[in-house]
Chain A
């Protein structure tokens, strides 16, 4: 079965600093999703990547899917306290209908 590994598990950055979160899949990715979760709440969709080399941006958050479609990175520029939370990558399984998730990366931003 497909597995997603995220790194780092947690991250503490000073406000204004840039950061990168990685998501590596054990199998080829056919659809890669990034979600953000505020502590104790549901997940909010950030963006979806499907094509190798694809890159998308939403405000100060940029995500990219590598050419081989087995790794994705999420980059935050000039981090702010509002960026704090848990970032999870998700992937569609080859049979459809199901999305599996990585364990998440906990981001703390120090003001």
Chain B
């Protein structure tokens, strides 16, 4: 069966520090991968999606970046965090261009 994991689960970082959130999917190949952010009291905002290794589409201009070094690995990064980067980050995957999304457990980032 397919599983998705993301880590760390909780992160507290000072403003200006770097960030790396990792997501891996098991039990499937060539998934579409997504990073969403959920800010307090707001809905899910799509940040990045990837349909293949090295292919990244950015939805919102910001100081975040994403990379897909391997088929089932998706990484969210920042060189310098801002206060506004605080939120709940969710990684998700789907088997095709449409259909049910499978979400990870989430990573809560607090930038102080």
Contact = CB atoms under 8 A, between A and B. Distances in A.
A96 B43 contact: no
Contact of B106 (A6, A40, A45): A40
Contacts of B92: 42-43
Given A40-B88, A43-B90, A98 B46 contact: yes
Interface string A12-56: 000000000000000000010101000011111100100000000
Contacts of A102: 43
Interface residues of B, number: 26
B97 A97 contact: yes
A6 B42 CA distance: 11
A92 interface: yes
A99 interface: yes
A interface, by DSSP: helix, strand, loop or mixed? strand
A104 B101 CA distance: 16
B49 to A, nearest CB: 6
Given A40-B88, A43-B90, A99 B101 contact: yes
B7 interface: no
Nearest to A104: B43
11 contacts: A43-B101, A45-B101, A48-B100, A88-B43, A92-B98, A97-B51, A98-B34, A99-B34, A100-B46, A102-B43, A103-B42
